[in-house]
Structure 1
């Protein structure tokens, strides 16, 4: 599992409300990720019961590597939110999250978590993942290929194309157009699906380039007889049998197509069918693959088991976590000594019952 990281510009010492600039920065980051075909999740606070540093409407954006941008609460809830958002990205399903120690009956569709910090506040958050559309690469500039580019975009695919002559493709608003069928250049696009609609224009070169790339499936617009001839040609060119298994010909369901528009319709139907099939397979595999991958959420901001504290660290008297003195944001003066906390919840708990934690605080020594 990827290790979660925190955007150092995301927080302030007080957790003050985000201004318009912060919201705009999240929107700009979301736009960049969308354009780059990168998955992400937007987390929105829909309920906040004090004591908590979050507020209703607060938002954050989580990238697929665990980087969190924005503010939806302090260290006590952040680890839980990151884990839940990463899972939402993996499955593509939204989540409704509740983090609280208050007694509550289980609700369908609500993922319940205990609040690991002593503050005992309550947070409810909605997590909406955004998965990029799969990139479909269309090979050819035939009438069928041009129509397939248009239809595939309407069906929600990100579409790139390659052809010997690229002029006909220029006006279609595609993500990228490549001239020729160089296998390395096409593999660099990392298409999920490839549709070969060359129909007599460098068929073998185009099909070989497609099969030598990373695409999960290669769909070929051809009759069964021609498809068999091309399979044999690919075998002679050194394409391994297991890679040839990725070839689908005919490209889509049999719809008695005659015109280029009808042929393209059937081929794009094949793209849609394979896309949904892959999504279902991924969703079915995600729980099994990641059931043991999520780390245990430890109290407060700790993301790893307790270890000997490095230099200039202090042991939080409430939860026992080692706090870096130089960067500590939650500090109070009590009884003539400075007391450091990992989060606001622990500080509030100490202030509520200082006598309970004073022996621990007095016994603490800064590590050197």
Structure 2
């Protein structure tokens, strides 16, 4: 896949609000078929596009990329059997191929911009819609009367307050800025949605009254715990613009808190200790388990030597028997056999020169 095509794929995934990670080779020590600057893109479901080396390291790269997507944090990954001191900021994996090459990668995730719903068509709500977009949030809105929202060009506007409709947008948070316009209906719908948090623009006294009203409407204590009021930090706000500024600051604070929680949860799930080598995933046979080849045959995917007499991973293609060091390389070859045969022919020509 060309760089241009990767860029086009990135743009499409961004437009579709789908997560992905870009993997860039920042170091490659032979024997390896990757090169510095080679790139691949890994989607949230693990689909890999592009080229960052042979099939031996493929499963490691995909899982590492998916981890960065879940955590929302970039990482450096080294796949190598070279001795060396552990580095706290590098995730180390054993190179599963007997070729013993080295790959060092930088993985940068891109996550969909969180969706925030702002309820109300008050001056504060309108200002909050504008400010939230300026800080990089995707914004939708709902109000009893939507005419004031029309000029904002929002991608999603709804008349009325309905939790099921809110959930169709998968909101990370909801800001209730109705300020007297169907407050209870708006707040109830927000709390019955799946939003991680509901921020309420209201005085302390009014917020307490609305909490009592929500209890009478059957809102559970667990969901009431998701209610935050005041909506943001205390900045002595008086005007609608100032109140909106404080509320949007609350949305930004919530976004960063959730990112930190996701990163911490991913680390806990991996049970990583700083500097510890992470076991390789789906490893090929190691060099200790492979005898010195009696007949030299180069794996067309990763370039390592394979003994045809003892190879366990073999397929027939185009009237030719093709041998591999591991199942990962075999699966990669089956995805694009003509490409890898051409690469193998190129290697053979280089060896003759």
TM-score by length of 1: 0.75
Per the alignment, residue 305 of structure 1 pairs with none
Match of 2:69, SS?
Answer: helix
Match of 2:188, SS?
Answer: helix
Q: Which has the higher contact order (CA 8 A, sep 6+)?
A: 2
Separation in 2, partners of 1:331, 1:261:
72
Tell whether the 8 Å contact from 2:79 to 2:94 is kept in structure 1 after alignment. Answer: yes
Count of aligned pairs: 305
Separation in 2, partners of 1:143, 1:237:
28
Residues 120-170 of structure 1: CA deviation (Å, up to 9, x unaligned): 222221111112222111001111001111111222222111112223223
Instruction: Determine whether 1:231 maps to 2:221.
Output: no
Separation in 2, partners of 1:128, 1:320:
40
Tell whether the 8 Å contact from 1:75 to 1:301 is kept in structure 2 after alignment. Answer: no
> Deviation at 1:211?
0.6
> Deviation at 1:324?
5.9
Per the alignment, residue 112 of structure 2 pairs with 132
Separation in 2, partners of 1:277, 1:226:
26
Within 5 Å, which residues of 2 pair with 1:259-274? 259-274=239-254
Match of 2:84, SS?
Answer: coil
Per the alignment, residue 298 of structure 1 pairs with 282
Separation in 1, partners of 2:18, 2:255:
17
What's the C-alpha RMSD, in Å, of the aligned pairs? Answer: 2.9
Residues 18-38 of structure 1: CA deviation (Å, up to 9, x unaligned): 4xxx32332222122222332
Residues 173-202 of structure 1: CA deviation (Å, up to 9, x unaligned): 433222221221112111111000011111
Tell whether the 8 Å contact from 2:119 to 2:142 is kept in structure 1 after alignment. Answer: yes
Instruction: Determine whether 1:323 maps to 2:313.
Output: yes
- Please point out which of 31, 35, 45 is paired with 1:51: 31
Within 5 Å, which residues of 2 pair with 1:160-175? 160-175=140-155
Q: Which runs of 5+ in 1 are unaligned?
A: 1-17, 303-315, 333-338, 348-368
Separation in 1, partners of 2:170, 2:149:
19
Match of 1:138, SS?
Answer: strand
Cα 1:88–1:299, aligned 2, differ >3 Å: closer, same or farther?
A: same
Tell whether the 8 Å contact from 1:137 to 1:194 is kept in structure 2 after alignment. Answer: yes
Separation in 2, partners of 1:131, 1:166:
30
> Deviation at 1:301?
9.7
Residues 36-71 of structure 1: CA deviation (Å, up to 9, x unaligned): 332211001122233222222221111122121111
Per the alignment, residue 10 of structure 1 pairs with none
> Deviation at 1:76?
0.8
Cα 1:301–1:179, aligned 2, differ >3 Å: closer, same or farther?
A: farther
Match of 1:218, SS?
Answer: strand
Tell whether the 8 Å contact from 1:138 to 1:159 is kept in structure 2 after alignment. Answer: yes
Per the alignment, residue 155 of structure 1 pairs with 135
Match of 2:283, SS?
Answer: coil
Q: Which runs of 5+ in 2 are unaligned?
A: 273-277, 287-305, 331-339, 341-353
Within 5 Å, which residues of 2 pair with 1:24-63? 24-63=4-43
